[in-house]
Amino acid sequence: MTQGRVEDFLRPGVRVHLMGIGGVSMEPLAEVLLLRGVQVSGSDMRDGPALQSLRERGAPIYIGHAAGNVAGAQAVVRTAAVHDDNPEIVAARSQGIPVFERAQAWGAIMRDYPNALCVAGTHGKTTTTSMCTHIALAAQADPTVMIGGTLPLLGKGYRVGGGGTIIAEACEYCDSFLSFCPTVAVVLNIEEDHLDYFKDLADIQKSFRAFAALVPQEGGVVVANGEDANTVAALAGLERRIVTFGLETGDVTARGLTWEKGLPAFQVVYRGEPYCSVALRVPGVHNVKNALAACAAAIALGWSGEAAARGLGEFGGAGRRFERLGTCNGAQVYDDYAHHPGEIRALLEAVRGLGYQRVVCAFQPHTYTRTKALFGDFAEALKLADLAVLTDIYAARETDDLGVSSAQLAQAVPGGLYCPTLADLAETLRREARPGDLILLVGAGDINTVGKALTEG
């Protein structure tokens, strides 16, 4: 059966059913489609304020998945979390209703924007996309935005604008970013990850190269980390305009980098000429690199250095990215989404200069495949903390059949502690916390919920 093109269904009067409509990128998709005059319906496993807002705009929304929810729909859009055996998918296919992936819908929408800035990379996507959003707003570009996390400036993870620019976080998992239509494609870095889908590093590099090749040969720009060997190898010989960034080498670099109370200040230089001067409110060399990438994208889009400096100077971090939650027994408690060894290493190195007496890293590994494949790297990264506390692996989409555990990881880290449940973790951290400590709740699962127990207990 030929299901047609997704763009044929994103038109006024067409009924489109969104599965997982309350999700971080599905909610803004619903908003954009409603503004286009599309008749939107949706389903989700949990209710909430976002769904109520969509109901008030005329979208019928069902809690739970059932075959009857797709009745009358002309197309269905799903998230990656929705599998083929879902009753709504089964019903749609039995009735000849085409089923599309979320990324396909976003890709179709991007075609209507003269400027589509898509930010990809193993690490730093959410932060860099957020930085780009700050710059775009300072440049009065009135962008539409889709971020994989909450940006305090927006109060949510998306924005529906009226300008000619769309800014989107682009995830490589399941090659979803290959459905996007970037005019500016950012590649921050490439490392081994998502090895439940990709075969190896070479397979990941092939995917990122295909992503970069999506930009048009005429007028398109690839922004790439010129100091990341995996990125350079992946893009070698690509016949596109490439603007590189790096701390010391590349088209966009940092000059005169200094640190004040752990926070960086530097001049951004583009091909030898000053572009802007930046004082960041977020720590770490990795955030200097993220800012350079954002500036390179801003240059590609013709935004001024003044807008870049103002936007970056006002950026205080994205939700769950070194986000302060409060205090516990005099210790400062922060939450961070880091779930890859490289991200954990960058986080722990970044907080070294902030003046804490002791750094306590509480880590919840995310998925069994990632933990097993990168076990040694996780152990080495966690050794950078003064105390590492491990809680059980967050399974996400997986089942425990690989013979790997957080208890094993705790044993691989000198002095590491193991707490099987989040309740055990909260109790241990409360017992350990003391003035002068920085407690980091680290992971992409639900470890952040421990923050409330610590800071309100």
Task: Point out the residues that are catalytic.
Answer: 125-126, 169
> What one-letter code names the amino acid at 252?
V
The set of residues, in sequence order, having a beta carbon less than 8 Å from that of 53 and lying 6+ positions away, is none
Residue 275 CA, distance from chain mean position: 27
Would you say 312 and 128 are in contact if contact means Cβ atoms under 8 Å apart?
no
Please state, in angstroms and rounded to a whole number, the distance separating the CA atoms of residues 156 and 146: 10
Per-residue buried b or exposed e for 106-137, using 16+ beta carbons within 10 Å of the residue's own CB:
bbbbbeebebbbbbbbbbbbbbbbbbbbbbbb
The token duo for 274 is 């000053």
Would you say 122 and 191 are in contact if contact means Cβ atoms under 8 Å apart?
yes
Of all helices (H) and strands (E), which one includes residue 275?
strand 273-279
Of all helices (H) and strands (E), which one includes residue 424?
helix 422-432
Please state, in angstroms and rounded to a whole number, the distance separating the CA atoms of residues 384 and 391: 18
Please state, in angstroms and rounded to a whole number, the distance separating the CA atoms of residues 404 and 372: 6
Strand locations in 123-197 (E): 144-151, 156-159, 165-169, 184-187
CA angle 385, 369, 186 (to 5 degrees): 75
